[in-house]
Amino acid sequence: MNANLEKIESFVTYLIVALVPVVILAVFPNAFTTPKLIVLSFGVFILILFKVAKVFLKGNIEFSVGSFDIPILLLIIAYLASAIVNTPNKPEAFFLPGTATIFIAGAFLYFLLNQASSSTRKNTMIALYISGIIVAVFSLFSTAGIFSRMESLPAFMKETGFTPVGGSLPSFIMFVTLIPVGINYMLKEKDISQKAFWGVSLALLLFGTVTSLINIVPGKSSSPQLPSFKTSWVVTVDTLKNSPLLGIGAGNYLTAFNRFRPIEYNQTDLWRLRFTSARNFYFTVITETGLLGFAALAMIAYSTYKTIKSEDKEKKLVGWSTKDTSIILPLVILAALMLLFPSNIVFVMMIFVFLALNSELHPIKLGAFSVAQSEGSRTNNLGMKLPIIIITLPIIIGFIVFSYYASRAIAAEHSYKKSLDAIARNDGKNAYDLLRNAINTNPYVDRYHTTYAQINLALANTIASKEDFSDQDRETVAQLIQQAIREGKSTVTLNPQRAANWEVLARIYQAIIPLANNANAFAAETYRQAVALDPINPELRIALGGIYYAAGDYNNAIRIFELATVTKPDFANAYYNLAYALYGNEQYDQAIQQMSVVLSLVESNSQDYETARQALENFQEKKETKAPSTDNLTPPKEQEKSIIEPPIELPKEAEPPEQSASPSPTVSPTPLP
């Protein structure tokens, strides 16, 4: 029985390691990460069940302690603590995108591999290598344009550089990491047919490396867009200043990026992009888990260094010498590449696998008990098993609870994907019902609430625009508006630190200004909180200034637009809005000056230049004649007239939620360092 369990356990291990890099499922909005997370987390759970079954059948607890155990335990603690203490949306940290779960499952895989036999550990490397070959075949097909000619494939599979690991850059990292494994086996193999297999597979990896490298060369359309090292460093350091021990929270990097990225970032071509990870793997871990995570990484690095520098050349690890490049070099290469590039679930798993294969093991036996089934020994046998039950039961219960909630999260994500497909088909009713189902199944995902709010708003505007608007229609519109506001407030409740959630709610209030009283005041209040959490975002400030401008509060609009120009001095639209606010406030000289700045910032042969030029002429004419202007340009927009008379009165519960307790400071109008 034990032998059969051993074989099944080994097979499941190979399956996990081989499937995680290659599995993709178009039934989820994220066809890459979600299925990989499912395979990794549930696969590890199955392995743990097998391990518990073996313990009970053998009658004792035997395990091996590895050289990386303590730092990896510390890394688990760091992610658990940061997720529980600092991540506002804890289900998001553990389920989707499940950053904490990725690291915890990877760490469990490390510990389980430490308990595996020598042959299983060797074959795990081969399973990972085979997955690399499969990715290389996908790369070959993608480069040859085979996928783009298949009509039945999803659109993402037809893109240039498509591979199951998520694009050309991840593919390049995987190929370069696995090439030493192929070289090692090809050189050592004596059988001609097997040597040919390793040679062909190595050629595929080399081809994939070259094509991936070509695709990621700067200037190519498929070249990855990454934040600079300086930007990531500033975000990491400022996060540690704010929350040194546990960082910003597992899976919450976007919040840190919004709050702490330097103002110089706005001078780059990427200024509109918001990143969910740092430039490299280590900055991301430290930002999310603080000094505790940094300590774990430092200990792993030191243990790796000791393994590489080991003077005992006869020491054997999983059947190989510590000097065998087939296990050491891939770890070193991957660790080095993670200094340059961000990571994903595939590379997190690979890091833990390589650490396990390089770990020096020391077997330990906690104790044994008789498994005799005679009448006189059964009671004592149960008592002897009690320590094992105490040790394993909490883990099993934890995984069962996790599996229940994870299955609901998976079902909700599938329902959400179906709703998005229905929206694309203009099937409003199905989209509405599927979204409600997704929210009811898993109410902890802000994306669901955002989309649901937008659908409610679209329906409200459609009904409000009817010519034969009835009392029943008025009631329906009021219900739809309140539902949209509730959903917007839900996004803020789920993660009040995320600027985008406050922006969603602000845009909802802004959209209903023509329909309801006080919506403009609510919109301004909510935009202010979004600005506080994303202080160097000029577009948020323009949106906030537009609310004041629309209400005729030109002084506040001018102040906000001026701050927008400070955050990004080369942003023509900020000066354009400022010019109109000054114009509305009858400050014609200043308006002319700002519109002149706009002309200096836009291309002289563009439509924007012509628009700004006409506006400047109108400003000059107004200054000279003091007569009413006839221009039609109105950005920022004037406040829209009410569609419904009288406007709908919003109830008390429609007011914005309380602001974040400690938002980051807003940008000062004085010059910034």
DSSP 652: G
Q: How much is the pLDDT for 59? A: 65
Q: How much is the pLDDT for 637? A: 62
Per the model's pLDDT, the better-predicted residue between 624 and 237 turns out to be 237
Mean pLDDT along residues 293-316: 80
Does the structure show a pLDDT above 70 at 596?
Answer: yes
Kindly write down the DSSP assignment for every residue of 601-665, as one continuous string: HS-TTSHHHHHHHHHHHHHHHHHHH-PPP-----SSPPPPPPSSSSPBPPPGGGSPPPPPSSPPP
| Rg value, the chain, Cα | 30
Does the structure show a pLDDT above 80 at 315?
Answer: no
Average pLDDT, the chain: 87
Indicate the pLDDT class of residue 644, thresholds 50, 70 and 90: low
The two beta strands, 316-317 and 362-368, are unpaired
Mean pLDDT along residues 340-361: 94
CA gap 639, 510 in Å, rounded: 10
Residue 294, CB-side half-sphere exposure with 13 Å CA sphere: 13
Kind and range of the H or E run holding 61: strand 60-65
Does the structure show a pLDDT above 90 at 248?
Answer: yes
Does the structure show a pLDDT above 60 at 576?
Answer: yes
Does the structure show a pLDDT above 80 at 88?
Answer: yes
Q: How much is the pLDDT for 471? A: 83
Which 3 state secondary structure label does DSSP give 389? helix
* Chain centroid offset of residue 479 CA: 33
Indicate the pLDDT class of residue 531, thresholds 50, 70 and 90: very high
CA gap 232, 287 in Å, rounded: 9
DSSP 272: T
Mean pLDDT along residues 503-514: 92
Q: How much is the pLDDT for 640? A: 57
Which 3 state secondary structure label does DSSP give 132? helix
Q: How much is the pLDDT for 508? A: 93
- Start-to-end Cα distance in the chain: 69
Mean pLDDT is lowest, of 26-35, 310-319, 500-509, 534-543, for: 310-319
Does the structure show a pLDDT above 90 at 646?
Answer: no
Does the structure show a pLDDT above 90 at 371?
Answer: no
CA gap 27, 35 in Å, rounded: 9
User: Angle at the Cα of 257 (from 561 to 290), degrees rounded to 5?
Assistant: 145
Q: How much is the pLDDT for 648? A: 67
Please give the structure tokens belonging to residue 17.
């390691």
Going by C-alpha positions, the residue among 362, 482, 445, 443 that lies closest to residue 92 is 445
Question: Model confidence over 5-28: pLDDT tens digits?
Answer: 888 999 999 999 999 999 999 999
Does the structure show a pLDDT above 50 at 108?
Answer: yes
Specify which residues 316 forms β-bridges with: 321
- What are the residues whose beta carbons fall under 8 Å from the beta carbon of 471, sequence distance 6 or more? none
Phi, psi values for residue 642, rounded to 5°? -65, 130
CA gap 598, 570 in Å, rounded: 9
Let me know: does 119 contact 365? Beta carbons within 8 Å: no
User: Angle at the Cα of 367 (from 365 to 369), degrees rounded to 5?
Assistant: 135
Going by C-alpha positions, the residue among 380, 383, 384, 350 that lies closest to residue 368 is 384
CA gap 318, 356 in Å, rounded: 9
Q: How much is the pLDDT for 169? A: 94
Q: How much is the pLDDT for 400? A: 85
Q: How much is the pLDDT for 612? A: 93
Let me know: does 418 contact 434? Beta carbons within 8 Å: yes
Indicate the pLDDT class of residue 633, thresholds 50, 70 and 90: very low
Question: Model confidence over 182-239: pLDDT tens digits?
Answer: 998 898 888 888 899 999 999 999 999 999 999 898 878 778 899 999 999 999 999 9
- What are the residues whose beta carbons fall under 8 Å from the beta carbon of 617, sequence distance 6 or more? none
The two beta strands, 320-321 and 60-65, are unpaired
Phi, psi values for residue 172, rounded to 5°? -60, -45
CA gap 341, 177 in Å, rounded: 13
Q: How much is the pLDDT for 152? A: 87
CA gap 346, 343 in Å, rounded: 8
Going by C-alpha positions, the residue among 262, 258, 266 that lies closest to residue 533 is 258
Let me know: does 142 contact 163? Beta carbons within 8 Å: yes
Does the structure show a pLDDT above 60 at 326?
Answer: no
Mean pLDDT along residues 593-603: 94
Q: How much is the pLDDT for 322? A: 41
Q: How much is the pLDDT for 377? A: 45
Q: How much is the pLDDT for 636? A: 66
Q: How much is the pLDDT for 458? A: 87
**Bond prior to 97 in cis (omega within 30° of 0):** yes
**Angle 69-85/99-115 helices, nearest 10 degrees?**
160
Mean pLDDT along residues 481-500: 94
Does the structure show a pLDDT above 90 at 649?
Answer: no
Q: How much is the pLDDT for 213? A: 93
CA gap 260, 664 in Å, rounded: 8
Which segment, 259-263, 519-523, 666-670, is predicted with the most confidence on average? 259-263
Q: CA distances (Å), 486 to each of 349, 416, 532, in order?
A: 39, 19, 22
Indicate the pLDDT class of residue 399, thresholds 50, 70 and 90: confident
Q: How much is the pLDDT for 654? A: 73
pTM of the model: 0.89
Does the structure show a pLDDT above 70 at 288?
Answer: yes
Phi, psi values for residue 367, rounded to 5°? 155, 165
Let me know: does 353 contact 17? Beta carbons within 8 Å: yes
Query: What residue ranges do the domains of the chain occupy?
Result: 2-368
Does the structure show a pLDDT above 50 at 370?
Answer: no
Neighbours of 196 (CB within 10 A): 12
Does the structure show a pLDDT above 80 at 569?
Answer: yes
Percent of the chain scored above 70 by pLDDT?
87
Does the structure show a pLDDT above 70 at 362?
Answer: yes
Mean pLDDT is lowest, of 189-203, 286-300, 423-437, 649-663, for: 649-663
CA gap 501, 498 in Å, rounded: 6
- What are the residues whose beta carbons fall under 8 Å from the beta carbon of 203, sequence distance 6 or more? none
Which 3 state secondary structure label does DSSP give 223? coil
Residue 507, CB-side half-sphere exposure with 13 Å CA sphere: 17
